[in-house]
Amino acid sequence: MAKPSMKPSSKGAPPTAATPGPVVGNNTSKPESGEKVPLNFRVDPEMRREFKAFAVDHDMQMVDVLKEAWAAYKREKGKG
């Protein structure tokens, strides 16, 4: 019976705590307080246009519109 070959791993060394800064996909460190992290989801093009237009019309960033909408939703549902 042939002995299995011992190929070196092509994955590289595992991340260490000394790895500088957060990297996308790197879950070994916690983001700093106040740092923004991705929240990715897809919407239909019409909703995106309306959402962006609303933000522009109200001189807001889209993330701020989302934050206010989320806060209002939580208040309405009694969870915040």
Q: Are residues 45 and 39 in contact, defined by beta-carbon separation less than 8 angstroms?
A: no
User: What separation, in Å, do the N-terminal and C-terminal C-alpha atoms of the chain show?
Assistant: 65
What are 22-57's pLDDT values in tens digits?
A: 566 667 778 788 888 889 999 999 999 999 999 999
The answer to whether residue 50 is domain-embedded is: yes
The structure's pTM equals: 0.58
The answer to whether residue 63 is domain-embedded is: yes
The answer to whether residue 14 is domain-embedded is: no
Please provide residue 46's backbone torsions phi and psi, each rounded to the nearest 5 degrees.
Answer: -65, -40
- Number of separate domains in the chain: 1
The answer to whether residue 59 is domain-embedded is: yes
pLDDT score recorded for residue 45: 97
The answer to whether residue 12 is domain-embedded is: no
pLDDT band at 64 (very low <50, low <70, confident <90, very high): very high
The answer to whether residue 55 is domain-embedded is: yes
User: Which pair of structure tokens corresponds to residue 66?
Assistant: 């989302």
CA dist 41 and 23 (Å) reads: 20
The answer to whether residue 11 is domain-embedded is: no
